[in-house]
Structure 1
């Protein structure tokens, strides 16, 4: 039966089960033990409850809590995998380099400078490049760390290594 065609009794049974078994509290406790961030616990719990609701009719009563726990665990694993393999869809360099500048600037010189900056910054590893561009936008390391889910010291390290690499590349470019 589709979830749209569920009866009022099905909804009442589901609500009673979730409240009676304290499913949300149970899932929250399990997820927190696994180190899930508090802001993600609610989302993962809701996902697990949606999966349970989708399979409410076909899941035996004794397996319903197990299904919710398994759905939460799988969702958490999916989130971890996506963060591990995450590559930003939008290149932060694009927005930084297209910002408006002084209208009196020579467009040809400006275009050449942007091309040089883009080439140099794009030669950095992805995380260093992202941290560098966020810094150019005026974002402090603490905010960058929150945005990228890194430690602040790691952000500072990426920034330091990125600056050193750019400095080396600029010296090499000037001597050529």
Structure 2
């Protein structure tokens, strides 16, 4: 990922760099799903890695340091969304699909629809959906990461799925209308 400065603010630099090298790609993917674009995802990850490096000794003493860093990503994302202006709209970028579609235009159109539908979710709904379906976390871990109850996680997931489904149907309807 990125090279860390050699000063000893937070602890063992090689150990930290190894940790980042092993997990950085996963954090970047997670951040990209939360923020909707690569640049914002890189900014989010770098911001969190700076905080993590400063707290490295404490983080390495934890049972699940990776989960702690992911929670830092989630918290920083949600805090940043509260501070951003309402005029800024980010679209989520979903992971690459498996086998290529026969027609590349269909793949582009489908990805655009998924991004637009995901953008209709509230920040918390998006975080729950990404943690559940991209990171494959159980409700208890999502609740711990977001600082809410499991019932709230299930509520956000249900509402997010419904909103996502409705947005996809509306986009499909609009596309059908345009083609007539």
- TM-score, with structure 1 as normaliser: 0.43
| TM-score normalised by structure 2 residue count | 0.42
Bigger Rg over Cα: 1
Which of 1 and 2 has higher RCO (CA within 8 Å, sep 6+)? 2
